[in-house]
Structure 1
Amino acid sequence: MADSPENLAERTYRFARDVRRIVNLMPSSTATREDIKQVVRSSGSVAANYLEAQEGLSRNDFFYRIKVCRKEARESQLWLKLLAEDSDPSTRPEIAHLMDEANQLTRIFASIAHKQDDSDA
């Protein structure tokens, strides 16, 4: 979990990009359309909020954005899990990879957020 800020920015970008690529391969139904909208939003929000954190106006703003990143990465896991259940078997390995990446990002952001809790104690 020793990603530098530049590597983490690229990693969150790739996560959002890869989510967009895989959802374009998903079958269209009422449920999947809504789940796709949600996962596109949440995965993009991880990347966008991390960029905002890097430009944080204050220490509190930085940690607030990091916590939003954690929340959005966790939310992405849910939408990906739901999509995996309705996906074509050929896309499931890629969705599983994205779920793992969302889990890793959640853990990274939780670790960063925990540093604030430690320093505030």
Structure 2
Amino acid sequence: MFVMMKDYDIKKKLEDIQKEKAEKEDGKTKKDKKDKKIEELEKALAEQTEISKRAQYDLVTQKFDFERHKLMLEEQSKSLDVDILIATVKKFLPFVENLRKSLGVLSEEQKKESLAQ
């Protein structure tokens, strides 16, 4: 009976030690999982920060590109206005030149008429 008690005590102590060890390992596993999760979150944060920095850079670049494009369009518009004016004048120049030549060949009597003046 004394041997049985000792066996029972030894078994009980063994079970207690195994439980403690399992609890420690379980706690260690939980800590490892938490550490791993923290690492994953830190990595995700770093990736998101990098994406944010790239997006800000792209936004600034696009803003400058847009401003430059807007100025270029304004200059083209002004240039187009001048080009249209020049084209219009070129269309009328032959008519004005023909009119000048026609008036030059008119006789004195024809020049006195109201239509020629």
Q: Normalising by structure 1, what TM-score?
A: 0.26
The answer to which structure, 1 or 2, has the higher relative contact order (CA under 8 A, 6+ apart) is 1
Q: More helix by proportion, 1 or 2? A: 2
Bigger-Rg structure (1/2): 2
